[in-house]
Amino acid sequence: MLHIYAATKAQEAIVIKGNREGLCVLINALVSAVAFSDGTAEIFDGDAELLH
């Protein structure tokens, strides 16, 4: 489980809440994005819909 709450105003923090599994998926997506030259990674939400 992972929830990312976007900032609603400039200079406002983004809140990330999740369990260990969700946070590991996020970390792996970030590592994959850095590893590829275009800086992207494909991740899916709980309904298996592609998120960009």
Quick one: tokens of 36? 């590829």
Q: Is 42 exposed, middle or buried (CB count within 10 Å of its CB: 0-12, 13-18, 19+)? A: exposed
Q: d(Cα 46, Cα 1) in Å, to the nearest integer?
A: 8
pLDDT for 19 = 92
Contact 30, 23 (CB under 8 A): no
| pLDDT tens-digit map of 7-50 | 888 888 889 999 999 899 889 888 888 887 677 777 666 654 54
Phi/psi of residue 22, each to 5°?
-65, -40
Beta carbons within 8 Å of 25's beta carbon, 6+ residues apart: 2, 43
